[in-house]
Amino acid sequence: MARILLTGAAGDIGTRLRKILKPVYPQLRLSDIKEPADLSADEEFVPAELVRIEDVERAVDGVEGVIHLGGYSVEGPWETILQSNIIGCYNLFEAARRKGVKRIVFASSNHAVGFYPRHHQIGVNVAVRPDSRYGVSKAFGEALGALYANKHGLRVLCIRIGNVGDIPIDKRRLAIWLKPEDLAQLIHIGLQHPDLRFEIFYGSSWNERGWWDNHRAYDYGYRPTGRAEDYREHAMAEQAKLKPDPVGDFFQGGSFCSLEFTGDGGLVWKT
3-state secondary structure of 4: strand
Q: How far is 214 from 202, CA to CA, in rounded Å?
A: 6
DSSP string, 186-223: HHHHHHH-TT-SEEEEEE--B-TT--B--HHHHHTT--
Distance CA 246, CA 249 (A): 5
Give Cβ neighbours of residue 114 (< 8 Å, ≥ 6 apart): 129, 130, 131, 132, 135, 251, 252, 253, 254, 256, 257
SS3 content of the chain, % helix, strand, coil (to 5): 40, 20, 40
Q: How far apart are CA 100 and CA 5, in angstroms?
A: 13
CA distance 258 to 206: 27
- CA 115 – CA 247 distance, rounded (Å): 10
Residues 232 and 207: beta-carbon distance below 8 Å? no
Query: What backbone torsions phi and psi does residue 67 show, to the nearest 5 degrees?
Result: -105, 110
Residues involved in catalysis: 134
Do 91 and 56 meet the contact criterion of CB atoms below 8 Å apart? yes
| Separation of alpha carbons 168 and 162, rounded Å | 11
